[in-house]
Amino acid sequence: MSDDEEELLAGSDDPPFDENDTGADIILRSNDGEDFYIRSALLTMASPFFARLLLSLRSHYRGPRGLPIIELAEDGESLQQLLLWCDPRAVPSWELDDIELALKSAEKYEMIGTKRFIGEMLGKLKEYVETEPLKLFAIAVRHRIPDLALIAKETLHHPLDGREYVPQLGDISGAVLHRLQEYYFCCTRTAIEVVERLEWEQRPFIWFEGPLVPCLCEYEVGQNHARRSKWWGDYMQRAKTALRLRPRGRTVLNLPSEIAASALELATLCLYCGGRAYADLQRFNVSFSNEVENAVDAVVCEFDL
């Protein structure tokens, strides 16, 4: 990661909320005594709450430079994360915990546009969508963020049995969590249906070429006298096992190398199949992956928020 990328991820080291901002006309004071020098126009445009509050500034205690001080219930860290999203001079933090702090404060202070903007950006943070989808899902549910279905889909990369608890799950209902689990099982069934259709669907691959070719591979016979190489059947069974845990197209492309190696080792024992098995398997897996992904995309993901 470059220095510029690290700076963007962490946010600005010098946010423009100190006494050096000569354009500031109010001070927001956190519950732990940290002062933020703010231009009130930014707050009144973003927040009806602050617009109403600022009408009564005459009754507030005045601090340095005679600026009115507004004492708030949030701590300094929460206020800073919110204000970084409100001031165009600032660089907001892209750390997920910081974004969550900003979302909570934006919701409290009726910053509808700011909250919507943060939510839209949150769904585009590929790093967290892929590595912490369950945490991201709970945050998205709590704050009614768009792209909830996209985030829910990313949870499919994480087997249900191995998912660890994250504190954000305490902010959502058991009904929503149950719907997420239902979605996982539905996608699993859908992915398995794709496997069961493809493992006997006759296509122009080496493992389906039948008894009229000089193939020495052990074979299996299915319904309607369909014939396939046994190494291929074993490969599809192992792919099915992997998809039961992670029902996504990417699972097919990321199968452990030993699964393909085991199948291809048997195929290379056959003089007829050995020369084509690797290329056919690679070509098939691309199609296989796409079909699984398309099938999962068709699964309806509904949550009552």
DSSP 157-215: GS-GGGPPP-GGGGGS-HHHHHHHHHHHHHHHHHHHHHHHHHTTS--SSGGG--TTS--
Tell me, what's the pLDDT at 182?
A: 94
What is the predicted pLDDT for the residue at 2? 46
Quote the longest CA-to-CA distance of the chain. 95
Per-residue pLDDT tens digits for 249-268: 999 999 888 888 888 888 88
Give how far Cα 211 sits from Cα of 150, 199, 204, Å.
46, 18, 14
Token digits of residue 69:
């001080």
Which single residue is written with the structure tokens 């993901």? 301
Query: Would you say 162 and 271 are in contact if contact means Cβ atoms under 8 Å apart?
Result: no
> What's the token pair of residue 294?
């398309």
pLDDT band for position 7 (50/70/90)? very low
CA distances for 195 relative to 2, 77, 238, angstroms = 42, 50, 10
Torsion sign, CA atoms 91, 92, 94, 95:
positive
pLDDT-derived band at 223 (thresholds 50, 70, 90) equals low
Does residue 12 register a pLDDT over 50?
no
The mean predicted confidence, pLDDT, of the chain is 85
Report d(CA 107, CA 142) in Å as an integer. 10
CA distance 79 to 83: 6
Per-residue model confidence as pLDDT tens digits over 56-90: 766 566 667 788 888 999 999 999 999 999 988 88
How far is the C-alpha of 293 from the C-alpha of 305, rounded, in Å? Answer: 26
Q: Which of 34, 129, 139, 143 lies closest to 79, judged by CA? A: 34
- Res 108: pLDDT: 93
Q: What is the pLDDT of residues 89-143, one digit of tens each?
A: 888 988 889 999 999 999 999 999 999 888 888 877 777 888 889 999 999 899 8
Average pLDDT over residues 212-216: 67
Q: Tell which wins on pLDDT, 203 or 166.
A: 166
Domains and CATH numbers, the chain: 3-122 (3.30.710.10), 123-172 (no CATH), 188-284 (no CATH)
Does position 14 have pLDDT exceeding 60, yes or no? no
Helices (H), 213-276: 230-245, 249-253, 257-267
Q: What is the pLDDT of residues 164-198, one digit of tens each?
A: 899 999 999 999 999 999 999 999 999 999 999 98
Which residues are 70's β-sheet partners?
A: 28
Of residues 107, 250, 115, the one with CA closest to residue 171: 107
CB 220 within 8 A of CB 230: yes
Residue with the two structure tokens 């919110």: 82
Binned at pLDDT 50, 70 and 90, residue 1 comes out as very low
- Does the pLDDT of residue 209 top 80, yes or no? no
Annotate 145-157 with DSSP letters as a single string: -S-HHHHHHHGGG
pLDDT above 90 covers a percentage of the chain that reads: 43
**Mean pLDDT within 205-229:** 73
Specify the DSSP element, H or E, that contains 69.
strand 69-71
At which residue do the structure tokens 């690290």 appear?
6
DSSP state at residue 170: G
pLDDT-derived band at 15 (thresholds 50, 70, 90) equals: low
Residue 221's DSSP bridge partners are: 227
**Residue 224's pLDDT band (cuts 50, 70, 90):** low
CA distance 247 to 294: 11
Asked if 120 and 93 touch (Cβ cutoff 8 Å), the reply is: no
φ, ψ dihedrals at 219, nearest 5° = -130, 170
Structure-block tokens of residue 230 = 């046994």
pLDDT range class, residue 247, cuts 50, 70, 90 = very high
CA-to-CA separations, 16 to 42, 85, 159, in angstroms, rounded: 13, 12, 44
Segment 213-231 mean pLDDT: 76
